[in-house]
Structure 1
Amino acid sequence: MTTSELGTTASSEVAAAARELLAALALEPAGRVTASVYETGRLVTHAPWLTGHDRRLAYLLGSQRRDGGWGAPGGYALVPTASAVEALLTTLRAGGGDAAPSPTELAAAAGRGLDALDGWLADGLPLPDTPAADLIVPALVERIDAHLEWFDERPGTGPDGWAGRRLPPVDRRRLDGLGALLASGRPVPQKLQHAFEVLGPAARGRPDVAPVAGAVGASPAATAAWVGDAPDAANPAVRAYLAEAVRPHGGPVPCCTPITVFERAWTLSSLARAGVPVRPAPKLVAELAGALGPQGTPTGPGLPADADTTSVTLYALARLGHPVDPASLLRYDVGSHFCTWRGEDGRSVTTNAHVLEALGWHARHTATGAARYGDRVAALAGWLREQQRSDGRWADRWHASPYYATSCAVLALTGYAPAELAGPAVDRAVDWVVATQRPDGSWGRWSGTVEETAYALHVLLGTDRPARPGVPEAARRGLHQLATMDGRRDDPPLWHDKDLYAPVLIVRAAVLAARQLALTRSDLLGRGGAALDAPAPDDSMIRSA
C-alpha cells in the first residue's frame, strides 16, 4: 500500500470512528460519565432503599486505595474519602447490609478511611478548587464525628479502638454561613442545588427546591437527599430519574447526570475544530440549538445557565453551519473577563477560552460580528494571555490537568487572537509541552494518560506557527504512544465536579481530533508519517464503556 493510500485509509478510519461516536450521542442522550465515589457514598447514606444498594457498598469497598483513602492523589482524595467513610458508618449504624459486604468488611474499610482522613486533616492537606468542597468536607466531618459519638454511647457496637475517636477540626465558616442564610428564611441558592445534600436531613422535601426533569441540581445525591427516607412520596419523575442514574453502572452513580448539552457540545466542537469530516444528524443539531435560551444553556437540568456550556454550544453550532448570535454570553461579562456564572467564586481560563472562540467566530464570519464583538474579542485574548504561567502552561478550575487548560487556551488564541499577541504565548506553551513529555512519549499530570496525550498533541499540531525545536519528534512519539494506549480504561478521571470524573465520549472526541490533526500536518510529520505510525482507532470504548 502506498503512503497516499495509507493516509486515505487512516482518514477513513477516523471518520468512521467519529460517526460511531455521533451515533452514541444520539442513542444515549443522558450522556456517558464515569461513576463517582463521592456521589455513590451519598446515595448509600440517603437512599438505601434505591435499587443497587449492595452494589454501591461493594463499589466503595472495591475502590478503596491501599492507604485507606479513595479518589485521586493529594487533596482530591478528601471529598470522596469523607463520603465513603460516612456512608460506611451510616450502614454500620443501621446494622450493616442485608447481603455482602459484611459488617466486618465495612468496619475494616471505615477504619482505614478514618486513619487516612485523620492524617490528612491533621496535616492541613489543602482542598482543590472543586465545586462545594469547602461545604462538603466540614459537613461530612461533622456527620462522621456524630457517628463516632453514637458508637461511644453504645459500648460494644463499634470496633475496638474507636472509643473517644474524633476527626481533627476543619474550617466550617462557609458551612456555618450557609446555615445562617437558610435560617433567616432565604431560599436555597440555585447554584447550591447541585450540592444540596450538604444540608443533610434538612434537605428533605424543602419547598423552595423543586426537581427539574425529576432531578435536583442534576445530581443523584442532591435528589436523593431531597427525597429522604420517604421514597413513596416522591413523584414518578423523581423516581424515574434516580432509577436511570443507577442503571448504567448497576448501582454506583456519577456526580452529574444528564449531561446531554455538555457532552454534545464538547464532542461536536472538538471534531469540527480539528476538521473531522462528519455530519451530525439534523435532529442532533436542532436539539443542541433548542437548548439555548436568552441566558444561554446549563450543563444539566436544575443547574444555572453558564458561560462555559453556552459558549461551546454556540461554537459547535457555528462550526457546523448553524450559527446563533452569541448575545446571551454578554450577561457573563464582568469587564476584565467572563464569569462561568453570575456570582462565581474564582475565574476560569477554559471558560474564557471557549467564550473567545464563540465570540471570535462571529466577529470574523458574520456581517455585524466585528462591530459588535471585535473589541471584546481582542480584550479577552489579552486577558487570556495574562493568565499564562511563567513556564508556559495554563491551569484551570474545571479540570485537574494543565494539558486540558493549555490546549483550550492555545487553540482559542491561535484561532481568534491577533498573531502578534498569540504568537509568543503559543510558542511558550508549545515549549512547555515538549519539555514535559514523558519518556514513553505520553503526557500526564500523575501518569501518562490517553486524554492528556491527546490534549498535548492538540497544542503541538493545532497551530499554524513555525515549528519549534523538538516538535516533530515529540509529536511522532506522542502519536505512537497514543495508539499504544488507546482503548485502555484505567486512566484516572480528571474533570472537576464534586468528585473527579471522566465524560467518556468527550474524551474520545479529543483523541479522534488529535488523530485528525496528525493527518493534516505533513509539514511537521512527513507525508503519511502519522498514518504509518497510528493503527486504526480502538472504538471498543465507545461501544462498551
Structure 2
Amino acid sequence: MTTVSGRPPARRIQDAVNRLMPHLGDTGTCPDSYNTAFVSRVRSPGGSPRYPRALQWLRARQHPDGSWGGRIGLPVDRLTSTLAAVRALVDYADTAPPGPSGSSGPSGWVTGALERGVGYLRSSASGGGCPSGPHEPIGLEFVVPELTRQLRAHGVRLPPQAWPDIHALRQDKLARMAASAAGPGSPSLRYCMEVAPDEALAGAAMTMQMMQTMQSPGGSVGCSPAATAALWQKTGSPRALAYLDALSCRSADGGAPEVHPMEAFEIGWSLYHLGRAGLLPSRAMTHLGSLAGELDRRGWVGFSREFPVPEADTTAMTINLLPHLGRNPAPSLGLLLRYEAGDHFFHYPGERGASVSVNARLLEAFNHSPDAYAAQRRKLIGFLCDTRTADGYWLDKWHVSPYYATAHVSFALGRSVSGDLGLSATRRWLIGTQHADGSWGIDGGQPEETAYAILALDALADRRSPIPSRTAAAAHRYLMPFLDAEPHDFAELWLGKSLFTPTAVVQSAVIAATHLSRPCRAPAAGG
C-alpha cells in the first residue's frame, strides 16, 4: 500500500474523492479465481490458450492448502473457486503439449497444482455435506453439481457422495425458477449460464439458442466473464470473444473480474457513501442524473444496462439518491411494490433466501413517505427485527461481513424509525468489537469493514449517543493510509459466484468513513 504524508487530512480526503470520480462507473471489480478459471479455458484456433496470462494468474494464487479463492477463508468460496480452477487445469493438461519436469508445461507446475487442488476437494468432500450457511456464492446449487460431474467425466476421482446437501438446494432452486415464471430468463440462469442445468433450459438442444438470446449488446451473458466464455465455446460468437478480449486488455495481471460492466451499482453505492458524509462533488450530478433518467425510462434500474432484469436493490438505491438532485422520491416509491412478498421484499424473482441489505434499502426508501407506505414499512421493520442476531447485528447474503449488513440496516432504522428497536444493543456491539488498532473485521481488521462500522455508528448517533471520541479517533488513524490504497489492498468480501471486491464502492466507503471519523468531528468527551 502506498502512503502519502505531508498533507492535512481534509486535503487527503478531497484528493481521494478527486481520484475516484474520473473513472466512476468503469472501475470494476478485482479479479477472482472462478471467472479467471473459465476464461483461461478459451482457446485460439490452433488450440493454445487465448489468454495465457489467466493461467499464470491461477498459478500464482493457489493457496498453500491447494485451494483457490479469496483471502478470507470462506469454505463455499474456496469450494467453487477450486472446482473451477481444477477444471481449467484438467482442460489445459489434456490439451497442452507435454514439457519436462520442472518446466512450465503440464508435467511441471500444472501437475503439482492439480494434485494439490484435487487433494483439497477430496478433503472438503469428506467433511460430510456442502459447507453452506448464510453466505452462499451465486449459483452454488448449480456450480458444485455441474463442475463435479465434469471433473468425474475427466477422470478426477472424488468421493461418490461428495456434497450431498447441494442436490436438495439444486432441486429447490429449479422449483423456485419454475414458480416465478422466469424460466430460462431468470437472473440466476443468465448469470450462471456456464453451469446451467438442462432442466432449466428445456433440454440440451435449446442451450445454444437460449444463450444467444441472453447475450447483451456488449457481447456478454449476464455481464459474467465465465458465462460469456461458455457462450463462445458453444457458439463461437464474435461479440462474446470481443468482450473477453476487451477484458483481457484492461486486466493488469491477466485475472478476470466477477462482473463487468456494473456501472449503475458502482455509481449508486459510491455516491451514496459520499453523500452520507457530505462529500458529493458537483460532477456527481451527471452520474445521478443518468441513474434518475434510467428510472424514469424503465421504471427500474439494474446493476448494469447490460443486465436487463428488473431488480429491487439498485432501483431503491436510485430512489434514495433522488434528493441529491432536488427531486422528491415519493412519486417513485410505487415502483418498488412489484418486489413485495409475504413477509419481506425480494431482490430478484425466484431467489432463494431474502437479503437483509435489500430490505433495509427499501425501508430507507419508504421512509421518504412513511404515511403512504405504512403497511410496507411495518413489514420491512418486522423482517429486519426478526433477522437481527441476539447480539444486535445482521448478516446478509451479498456480503460476508456483518458490518455491511448492520450499516445498511442502521441507515434505514437509525434516525427515521421511532421506538426502541434494540439499536442500543447494535451500537454497543459496534463499539465493543473494535480492534486495538482502531479497525473492525471478522478475520482481523479490514478497511472496508472499518468503514461500515463508522458509517453505522454515525447513522445511529445523536446528541445523547454520539460516536465516542476515542472510537472515532482510533478508526481515523487506521483508515487514513487506505485513502491512498491500491485495489489489491482490499480483501474480497462481496459474494458473487466467488468472493470479489467492487473497488470504487469500497474506496468510497473508506473515504466517507475517514471523513466522518475525523477528530475535529468527534465530541470532546471520550466514551
> If the TM-score is normalised by the length of the shorter chain, which range does it land in?
0.7 to 0.9
8 Å CA contact retained: 2:87, 2:151: yes
8 Å CA contact retained: 1:273, 1:319: no
Aligned-residue offset at 1:195: 0.3
Matched, 1:354 2:361: yes
Q: Hey, what does 1:373 align to over in structure 2? A: 373
8 Å CA contact retained: 2:316, 2:361: yes
Query: TM-score if structure 2 supplies the norm length?
Result: 0.84
Query: TM-score if structure 1 supplies the norm length?
Result: 0.81
Q: Hey, what does 2:432 align to over in structure 1? A: 435
Q: Hey, what does 2:162 align to over in structure 1? A: 169
Which secondary structure does the structure 1 equivalent of 2:302 belong to? coil
Q: Hey, what does 1:120 align to over in structure 2? A: 124
Matched, 1:109 2:116: no
- Give the distance between the partners of 1:349 and 1:200, measured in 2 at CA: 28
1:39 to 35, 60, 65: 35
Residues 368-412 of structure 1: CA deviation (Å, up to 9, x unaligned): xx4432442344234323321101111100001001111111121
Aligned residues: CA RMSD: 3.1
Matched, 1:66 2:64: yes
Distance 1:46 1:73, change over 3 A: same
Aligned-residue offset at 1:309: 1.2
Q: Hey, what does 1:313 align to over in structure 2? A: 318
Task: Report sequence identity in percent.
Answer: 29
- Give the distance between the partners of 1:47 and 1:397, measured in 2 at CA: 35
- Give the distance between the partners of 1:216 and 1:411, measured in 2 at CA: 34
Matches within 5 A, 1:522-533: 522-524=521-523
Residues 15-71 of structure 1: CA deviation (Å, up to 9, x unaligned): 34223312221xxx4442100100111122355669852101000110000011111
Which secondary structure does the structure 2 equivalent of 1:342 belong to? coil
Aligned-residue offset at 1:220: 1.2
Count, aligned residues? 488
Matches within 5 A, 1:236-275: 237-250=239-252, 251-275=254-278
Q: Hey, what does 1:54 align to over in structure 2? A: 52
8 Å CA contact retained: 1:40, 1:253: yes
Aligned-residue offset at 1:10: 3.6
Question: Which stretch shows the higher mean deviation, 305-314 or 41-50?
Answer: 41-50
Q: Hey, what does 1:397 align to over in structure 2? A: 397
Question: Which stretch shows the higher mean deviation, 124-133 or 134-143?
Answer: 124-133
2:186 to 178, 186, 190: 190
Distance 1:470 1:455, change over 3 A: closer
Aligned-residue offset at 1:307: 0.8
- Give the distance between the partners of 1:322 and 1:14, measured in 2 at CA: 28
- Give the distance between the partners of 1:97 and 1:221, measured in 2 at CA: 27
Distance 1:74 1:509, change over 3 A: closer
8 Å CA contact retained: 2:403, 2:449: yes
Matched, 1:327 2:331: no
- Give the distance between the partners of 1:180 and 1:336, measured in 2 at CA: 20
Q: Hey, what does 1:80 align to over in structure 2? A: 81
Q: Partner letter of residue 302 of structure 2?
A: P
Give unpaired runs (5+ residues) of structure 2: 1-6, 199-203
- Give the distance between the partners of 1:51 and 1:268, measured in 2 at CA: 39
Matches within 5 A, 1:423-462: 424-425=422-423, 427-462=424-459
Residues 300-345 of structure 1: CA deviation (Å, up to 9, x unaligned): 3235221111111221233342445122111001142211112221
Residues 81-114 of structure 1: CA deviation (Å, up to 9, x unaligned): 1110111001111125999842121111011000
Q: Partner letter of residue 87 of structure 2?
A: E
2:291 to 288, 291, 311: 288
Distance 1:470 1:242, change over 3 A: closer
Question: Which stretch shows the higher mean deviation, 167-176 or 452-461?
Answer: 167-176
Distance 1:249 1:168, change over 3 A: farther
Question: Which stretch shows the higher mean deviation, 78-87 or 94-103?
Answer: 94-103
- Give the distance between the partners of 1:179 and 1:387, measured in 2 at CA: 25
Distance 1:281 1:351, change over 3 A: closer
Q: Partner letter of residue 131 of structure 1?
A: I
Matched, 1:146 2:148: no
- Give the distance between the partners of 2:325 and 2:519, measured in 1 at CA: 19
Matched, 1:343 2:350: yes
8 Å CA contact retained: 1:38, 1:80: yes
Q: Hey, what does 1:383 align to over in structure 2? A: 383
Aligned-residue offset at 1:521: 6.8
